[in-house]
């Protein structure tokens, strides 16, 4: 007979290996035990299948796998997005990129915008839901990532058009009022790639396998041919890349070039406008 335990027993078993909040979330996911029940009924028994599943999930979490992949979703701007190892887990700072984009779209009656490297679709879906008058297109080179993004758009009722391809290739002859992107910007040798669960996330969405600016260079170079007069390019980047990105924008002929800080005071976003 397979071993069976209790809620209290599971929490004791993983203490010191898994954060208590994470353990509670795993209990809710795998055994349907709500937070209130963890407190009020710690003696609740878990059947053999629940116990085995919880142990497996706890082992994966203890090995560093991000909780979002274990539970299958992440929160972004108050909405629940499906995530899988095919896509990056959305970060809170990217929410501020949405705020910047909405500022640029606000004066326009029916703007057209494109999200390059959409991943799970959080940027494109959020823009469409928060600026319903916008036409939003989203691009990703990964067909697996696009499957996740399409599912998120459908679940949240966002009318986004998705296309598969690298950067501007699927957009021949098209122009937009806004190009927005959170591209791979981690340099190949950055030690952070081996920390904080990043080894479990898609490497191609994290690093360009070069100096961290290769994808941004491609986006900056291609954007002028795909922006309407007065259109904006906004890009997320590393905390130490703002000056380099501004220089790329200026060299490409953008005006009103700027960088913006995240809530931690780090310059994480840069942008510019075409003539």
The pLDDT of residue 175 is above 80 = yes
Domain of residue 150 covers 87-273
Q: Check whether residue 35 and residue 171 sit in a common domain.
A: no
- Identify whether the C-beta of residue 98 lies closer than 8 Å to the C-beta of residue 123: yes
Q: Check whether residue 191 and residue 114 sit in a common domain.
A: yes
Count of domains forming the chain: 2
Q: Check whether residue 160 and residue 254 sit in a common domain.
A: yes
The pLDDT of residue 2 is above 80 = no
pLDDT at 1: 37
Above pLDDT 90, what percent of the chain?
Answer: 89
The pLDDT of residue 244 is above 80 = yes
Q: What is the pLDDT of residues 68-126, one digit of tens each?
A: 999 999 999 999 999 999 999 999 999 999 999 999 999 999 999 999 999 999 999 99
Q: What is the pLDDT of residues 13-63, one digit of tens each?
A: 999 999 999 999 999 988 888 888 888 999 899 988 999 999 999 999 999
pLDDT at 200: 96
Q: Check whether residue 99 and residue 223 sit in a common domain.
A: yes
Q: Check whether residue 107 and residue 140 sit in a common domain.
A: yes
Non-local (6+) Cβ contacts of 44 within 8 A are: 6, 7, 33, 37
Q: Check whether residue 110 and residue 171 sit in a common domain.
A: yes
Task: Produce one character per residue of 234-243: b if its CB has 16 or more CB atoms within 10 Å, e if not.
Answer: bbbbbeebbe
Tell whether 82 is covered by a domain. no
Tell whether 72 is covered by a domain. no
For helices 7-14 and 48-62, angle between their N-to-C axes, nearest 10 degrees: 20
The pLDDT of residue 246 is above 90 = yes
Task: Give the Å distances, CA to CA, from 67 to 26, 151, 196.
Answer: 9, 20, 11
pLDDT at 4: 65
Tell whether 193 is covered by a domain. yes
Above pLDDT 70, what percent of the chain?
Answer: 99
Q: pTM for this one?
A: 0.93
Average pLDDT over residues 175-188: 97
Can you tell me which residue has the tokens 């510019």?
272
pLDDT at 3: 55
DSSP string, 90-136: PPTTHHHHHHHHHHHHTT-SS-EEEEES-TTSHHHHHHHHHSTTSEE
Q: Check whether residue 99 and residue 12 sit in a common domain.
A: no
pLDDT at 33: 87
Q: What is the mean pLDDT of the chain?
A: 95
Cα separation, 13 vs 51, in Å, equals 11
- Residue in 166, 141, 158, 145 with CA at minimum distance from that of residue 82: 145
pLDDT at 98: 98
Cα separation, 253 vs 16, in Å, equals 54
Non-local (6+) Cβ contacts of 24 within 8 A are: 11, 35, 38
What the block records as the tokens of 260 is 């913006």
pLDDT interval class at 210 (50, 70, 90):
very high
DSSP string, 212-265: S-HHHHHHHHHGGGGEEEEEEEEEE--TT-HHHHHHHHHHTT-EEEEEEE-TTS
What the block records as the tokens of 150 is 């399409």
Q: Check whether residue 149 and residue 268 sit in a common domain.
A: yes
Tell whether 184 is covered by a domain. yes
């Amino acid at each position: 007979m397979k071993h069976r335990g209790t809620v209290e027993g599971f929490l004791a078993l993983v203490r010191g290996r898994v954060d208590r909040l994470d353990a509670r979330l795993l209990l809710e996911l795998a055994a349907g035990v709500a937070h209130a029940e963890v407190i009020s009924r710690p003696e609740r028994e878990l059947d053999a299948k629940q116990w085995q599943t919880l142990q497996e999930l706890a082992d994966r979490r203890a090995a560093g796998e991000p909780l979002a992949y274990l539970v299958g979703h992440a929160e972004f701007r108050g909405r629940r997005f499906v995530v899988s190892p095919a896509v990056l887990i959305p970060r809170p700072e990217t929410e501020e990129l949405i705020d910047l984009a909405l500022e640029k779209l606000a004066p326009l009656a029916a703007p057209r915008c494109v999200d390059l490297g959409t991943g799970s679709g959080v940027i494109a879906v959020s823009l469409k839901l928060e600026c319903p008058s916008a036409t939003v297109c989203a691009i990703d080179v990964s067909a697996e990532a696009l499957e996740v993004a399409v599912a998120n758009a459908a679940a949240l009722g966002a009318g986004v058009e998705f296309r598969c391809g690298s950067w501007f290739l699927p957009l021949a002859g098209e122009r937009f009022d806004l190009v927005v992107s959170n591209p791979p910007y981690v340099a190949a040798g950055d030690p952070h790639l081996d920390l904080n669960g990043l080894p479990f996330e898609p490497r191609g969405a994290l690093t360009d396998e070069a100096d961290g600016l290769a994808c941004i260079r491609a986006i900056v170079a291609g954007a002028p041919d795909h922006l309407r007069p007065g259109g904006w390019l906004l890009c997320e980047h590393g905390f130490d890349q703002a000056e380099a990105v501004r220089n790329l924008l200026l060299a490409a002929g953008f005006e009103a070039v700027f960088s913006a800080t995240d809530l931690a005071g780090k310059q994480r976003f840069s942008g510019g406008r075409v003539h």
